[in-house]
Structure 1
Amino acid sequence: MKKRMLAVVMMICAIALLFVFALSGRKEPETGFAAYKVIAHALGGINGYTYTNSYEAFIANYEMGTRVFEADLLLSADDKLVARHEWTGNMSKLLGQLTVLPAAKQGAVLTYSDFMDSPILDLYSPVDIDKLMDLLGAYPDAYIVTDTKELKPELVTRQFELIVEAAESRDPALLARIVPQIYSRDMLDMVNKVHEFPEIIYTLYQSRDSEEQVVDFVKETGVDITMPVTKASKSFVRQLKQAGARIYVHTVNDQKEIVKLSRLGVDGFYTDFVPEDELAGYPGIR
């Protein structure tokens, strides 16, 4: 009888231990920026158009459930920070501005007034860093991921000084919802000298680092990673996950590709046309 009771007690203890181990291995749900899988590329697509970086694109994608928005940010000719992907004639054409800008300005770096006074596709409104901060103030669960593109230390410093000034002039708490992208390992120190943001994404599209260098940098700094789809190999993703990074890829609009990459271990996606609420319904999305 005693042996039977002892066996029952041991079985109960074993079951209890298994239950404790199962609970300890269960990941807590992510919160804040990390809770979202979608990053709206160039503030998100709108009516089939991409790269607008427009006020209306932000609003339209927010209303569809997206909460994280990548914004292209460039310096104007008179040292203002504005949301534009590039200063080229092709971009002026893509944005439908050939009739609103004289030929000499279509591929040039615009002044702030020229930029803000040039409607996008005759319908949409350009934004600058001040308007982006106003949007963060109006939508307290939204985040901005910066795509500032510059590599020269003086330009990087100036861009982030303007970002910090715009946020602090409204509410310093806004800085917690700005996520800088860096383009090299050295750029992390440049940004940190201006302000230490709680989240940083190292984007690899300009990087010449080896996979080993990127993995070591993640271990040293705790940054997250975004990369073109072509770089997201199974082994690289696994190493980055083991190092502690969240992993994003860009730019993906196809459901099958998103599901495939998610199964590979990718955490999030820069996309033009897939809102956060829609992505949650894809089969196999973790």
Structure 2
Amino acid sequence: MDKKKIVATVIVIGALVMLLVITFSKEDEQPASGFESHKVVAHAMGGINGYTYTNALEAFVANYAQGTRVFEVDLLLTTDDQLVGRYEWSGNMSKLLGQLDVLPANKQGVVLDYKEFMDSPILDIYSPIDVEKLLDLMQHYPDAYIVTDTKEIKPELINKQFTLLTEAAMQRDPALLDRIVPQIYNQTMLDEINKVHSFSEVLYTLYQSQDTDEQVIDFVKKTGVDITMPASRATKDFVKKLKKARARVYVHTVNEEDEIRELSRMGVDGFYTDFVTEDDLNNMRGLR
């Protein structure tokens, strides 16, 4: 065989090898589906008419109509141990939610009972939610997902919150639990929620965590959880290592397009946001 034929043969073999590598790589990288196919997480059900932190029923509906399918909801216990959508029991939150004239002075900045909470409209016109209304939304919108922000880190309160949530879902349709994504605040919380129910998706949120980057990465490798963190903690090196450990990476809370583009180029998969909808993100240029 002459030299030209040898060179040609080598080139052809090399091309076939490259084609096989590319083909197998594409097979390994299956298109995201379900929860993982969405990049926007509506913070506290998403903003509505310029307002944030409402966790209101109408905020869910408005953001769903604009293409958003994943909704973070803050869930707290009332004095009579009912789970409701509230960011915090503070006087400032009562003010933010326009409830200073709705609630008497001695009920502002304290934990409410269930009736007091449900009888207090948000900003005069929006509806507060409890677990049952949340599940109503999930059944009415069967492609929507809920990410929980339950705040508590004491084992007995974690157990109480997730027992209430799980039992309410089980009474309606156990399949609803496949669309509920708990956020955990430390590594031991994963064991606590698994005592109640083994959820198919779990997000380890780092805003309360004292873990180092390496401790987070080791936990991801051991458990398969995904990660969400403040945008300020999302460095290029940390995100790269998390991705190498096969975690999906989310950041919170971002509302500016330039910041979203920068984080996307860094490798971030999803964004908790008040005002950017899934439709907005799909139309945004310069994303990875």
Which residue of the partner structure matches residue 276 of structure 1? 278
User: Quick one: which amino acid aligns to residue 123 of structure 1?
Assistant: I
Residue 110 (str. 1) matches residue 116 (str. 2): no
Equivalent pairs, count: 286
- Structure 2 Cα separation of the partners of residues 231 and 47 of structure 1: 29
- Structure 1 Cα separation of the partners of residues 24 and 278 of structure 2: 29
Q: Which runs of 4+ in 1 moved over 2 A?
A: 1-17
| Matched residue SS, 2:41 | strand
Which residue of the partner structure matches residue 35 of structure 1? 37
- Structure 1 Cα separation of the partners of residues 14 and 236 of structure 2: 36
Superposed CA deviations along residues 127-160 of structure 1, whole A, max 9, x for unmatched, are 0111111111111110000000000000000000
**1:46-57 → structure 2 map (5 Å cutoff):** 46-57=48-59
**1:1-286 → structure 2 map (5 Å cutoff):** 11-26=11-26, 27-286=29-288
Superposed CA deviations along residues 172-219 of structure 1, whole A, max 9, x for unmatched, are 000000000000000000000000000000000001111111110000
- Runs of 5+ unmatched residues, structure 1: none
- Runs of 5+ unmatched residues, structure 2: none
- Structure 2 Cα separation of the partners of residues 142 and 5 of structure 1: 59
Deviation of residue 247 (structure 1)?
Answer: 0.5
Of residues 80-89 and 16-25 in structure 1, the stretch that sits farther from structure 2 once superposed is 16-25
- Structure 2 Cα separation of the partners of residues 20 and 136 of structure 1: 43
User: Quick one: which amino acid aligns to residue 64 of structure 1?
Assistant: Q
Of residues 130-139 and 80-89 in structure 1, the stretch that sits farther from structure 2 once superposed is 130-139
- Structure 2 Cα separation of the partners of residues 265 and 2 of structure 1: 48
TM-score, normalised relative to structure 1 = 0.96
- Structure 1 Cα separation of the partners of residues 235 and 11 of structure 2: 44
Deviation of residue 110 (structure 1)?
Answer: 0.5
Identity of aligned residues (%): 63
Deviation of residue 13 (structure 1)?
Answer: 3.9
CA RMSD in angstroms comes to 1.4
Deviation of residue 12 (structure 1)?
Answer: 3.9
- Structure 1 Cα separation of the partners of residues 250 and 23 of structure 2: 27
| Matched residue SS, 2:164 | helix
Deviation of residue 102 (structure 1)?
Answer: 0.5
TM-score, normalised relative to structure 2 = 0.96
- Structure 2 Cα separation of the partners of residues 3 and 137 of structure 1: 69
| Matched residue SS, 2:80 | coil
